[in-house]
Amino acid sequence: MPTAFADVTASDSTLRRFLHGLPGVDAVGLEARAASLGTRSIKTTAKAYAIDLAISMIDLTTLEGADTPGKVRALGAKAVNPDPTDRKTPRTAAVCVYPDMVATAKEAVGASGVKVASVATAFPAGRAAIEVKLGDVREAVAAGADEIDMVIDRGAFLAGDYMTVFEQIRAVKEACGTARLKVIFETGELSTYDNIKRASWIGMIAGADFIKTSTGKVGVNATPANTLLMLEAVRDFRAQTGVQIGVKPAGGIRSTKDAVKFLVLVNETAGPDWLDNHWFRFGASSLLNDLLMQRQKLATGRYSGPDYVTVD
């Protein structure tokens, strides 16, 4: 934790005073800004660059109750070699699975450099005792997870108990060891942009390596506006502390067009330093297929179809 914030986190009331003292978010302005950046037309070589960059930023995700070792192995194979017809296709950044599938995923990606991320801390609701959550994290790390995606306790956050949220993130960060920690706020459940901003700051101060919009399990997931807000937060945090933190929008990003819009947001808000899969990720499952189809279109000039990508 940056020392600058030691006094902020000294007590419940100082933390509250700090979070409520953050400038309020102009919701109309934020949405208008996000929408206007989404109108950029990205074509030809810039589009090809954006598609490859987006593929390399994907956390290829399967988080279903029905996940089998076979499905996770298939996902791992796809992450390592997304388009078998074109070996120049970049690998995805990571595969993202439940903790009990980490070992299988690790085996599937092998030494390819694709990371294994695991959701933990009683994903997606986060409704469990802290010991259970930490056990969940340790299990995933012990199985070889390179990255941990935790969910914050939205109940505590919405009840105004910011200190609990902060302490839990810190405890999980400690349990992660060398694994990078992504903190999921579930922005759809936080109701207001001000809350998203406060959650971002709690996460960043508590030592998150990434802040992430959502689990993908609720009605409202990543939107351009809430991602823009989080990008502004990491930009401001680096300006204040020198510490760079990543951002991961997740859920609901299905088309190449959407993905490119997010990349524009990143470039225009946080800056080109974040245009790298170490600092920006997409949590997605169906997005990869659309990116691959667009990539094939650019390469051949012919529109591709779902018959030419794998069915996950």
Partner 1 sequence: MSDRLTVFKTYKLYVGGKFPRSESGRVYEVTDSKGKWLANAPLSSRKDARDAVVAARKAFGGWSGATAYNRGQVLYRVAEMLEGRKDQFVREVADAEGISKSKAAVQVDAAIDRWVWYAGWTDKIAQVVGGANPVAGPFFNLSTPEPTGVVAVVAPQESSFLGLVSVIAPVIATGSTAVVIASEKSPLPALSLGEVLATSDVPGGVVNILTGKTAEIAAPLAAHQDVNAIDLTGAEAELARDLEIAAADNLKRVFRPQPVDWSADPGTHRLTACLETKTVWHPTGSLGASGSAY
Annotated catalytic residue, options 149, 153, 209, 290: 149
Stretch that binds partner 1, among 139-147, 203-211, 239-247, 303-311 (CB under 8 A): 303-311
85 contacts partner 1 (rule: CB under 8 A): no
301 contacts partner 1 (rule: CB under 8 A): yes
Contacts to partner 1 from residues 277-296, by CB under 8 A:
296
308 contacts partner 1 (rule: CB under 8 A): yes
305 contacts partner 1 (rule: CB under 8 A): yes
Catalytic site residue 149?
Answer: yes
Residues in contact with 116: Cβ distance below 8 Å, sequence separation at least 6, in sequence order: 94, 95, 97, 102, 105, 106, 109, 144, 145, 146, 147
CA distances from 159 to 43, 88, 155 (A): 46, 50, 6
89 contacts partner 1 (rule: CB under 8 A): no
**In this chain, which of 68, 302, 310, 312 binds partner 1, going by CB under 8 A?**
302
**In this chain, which of 303, 310, 311, 312 binds partner 1, going by CB under 8 A?**
303
Find, among 188, 194, 213, the residue nearest to 280 by Cα: 213
49 contacts partner 1 (rule: CB under 8 A): no
Q: How far apart are CA 11 and CA 204, in angstroms?
A: 17
43 contacts partner 1 (rule: CB under 8 A): no
Q: How far apart are CA 258 and CA 223, in angstroms?
A: 10
307 contacts partner 1 (rule: CB under 8 A): yes
Q: Which positions touch partner 1 (CB under 8 A)?
A: 296, 301-308
- Give catalytic residues, as residue numbers: 149, 212, 248
